Amino acid sequence: MSPPVFRFAPSPNGRLHLGHAASVLLNARLAERMGGRLLLRIEDIDTARARDEFIEAILDDLAWLGLRFEQPVLRQSTRFAIYAEALDKLAAQGLTYPCFCTRAALLQRASGHARNHPRDPDSIHRYDGFCRHLPEATVVRRLALGEPHVLRLKMDDALARIGAALAWEEGLPGATHAVQGDAAAWGDAVIRRKEFPASYHIAVVLDDAAQGVTHVVRGRDLYHATAIHRVLQTLLGLPAPQYHHHALVLDTDGDKLAKSRGSPALADLRAAGVRADDVRRRAALPDA
Ligand code: GLU
């Protein structure tokens, strides 16, 4: 049997912090324990936000933590053609539609509604289906005019097509249990963004499959998104990895660490004299 494959998949739009360290170190421990591989993947589809200097910094921080990765490291920005092919496949199955709604319109229509998405890097709210019901002629005209749009998945049709319950194996290797996601709760998820020709969801499932990832170990904030990933995997005929959504490292207010909240980067800790060993201790997550 081939060895298990784990991955760490940071988005290079900021410096790594303790939460990233916790995630990559847990992946590294599990891979080592199981005689597996740990791959690094740079999730740089958002070409407006991703910066080469952050990629350099990520590699540098990981090396400081004592982690080395197989080369070449996969960069999502080299794979737009693969993502486009998969999106075409979904479109050919009649499972997608263009959505022209602006962010402002979405926010306005959603005011008063709960912001449903636990964490969706690709959209802000559960969509109300406005563009799904546009007359065909309107869609054709707006597309011909080159109006910016996202591509959405017709979630109810996709689920009807799949026809089976979409469970996945969740938990630490050797201690998993089947869980049932709630993809319907997401509504018509964005599968291709306006600003770049892919989405987190489509890229992550295609890359996990292309890299032969058998174990996805990532933060609990992405737990619910896994339901969308299972739908896409099933529609595209991709294998389902095992998942473990680990606890998040929180700041003293109980919030998830984030650059936007001023959480210190590993580089800041390092500059302040913190040693890699201290970070390894502070970033330890329960994993057995
Ligand atoms: N690129 C994502 C992030 O930096 C992680 C995606 C994943 O692990 O599936 O948050």
Spatial separation of the C-alpha atoms in residues 31 and 25, rounded to whole Å: 10
| Cα dist from 287 to 23, 116, 158, 173, 177, whole Å | 11, 30, 35, 9, 15
- How many angstroms is it from 35 CA to the middle of ligand 1? 23
* Displacement of CA 168 from its chain's centroid (Å): 16
Question: Model confidence over 71-122: pLDDT tens digits?
Answer: 999 999 999 999 999 999 999 999 999 999 998 888 888 765 555 566 677 7
| Strand duo 96-99 + 190-192: pairing | unpaired
Ligand 1 pocket residues where CB is under 6 Å: 9-11, 43, 204, 218, 222
Question: Model confidence over 263-274: pLDDT tens digits?
Answer: 789 999 999 999
> Residue 185 gets which letter from DSSP?
G
Question: Model confidence over 194-221: pLDDT tens digits?
Answer: 999 999 999 999 999 999 999 999 999 9
Spatial separation of the C-alpha atoms in residues 232 and 265, rounded to whole Å: 33
Q: What is the pTM of this model?
A: 0.93
User: Which residue intervals of 65-163 are DSSP H helices?
Assistant: 80-92, 103-110, 136-144, 155-162
Q: Which of 39, 49, 58, 204 to mutate to test the pocket of ligand 1 (most atoms within 8 A of CB)?
A: 204
- How many angstroms is it from 203 CA to the middle of ligand 1? 11
pLDDT at 113: 58
**Residue 222 pLDDT exceeds 80:** yes
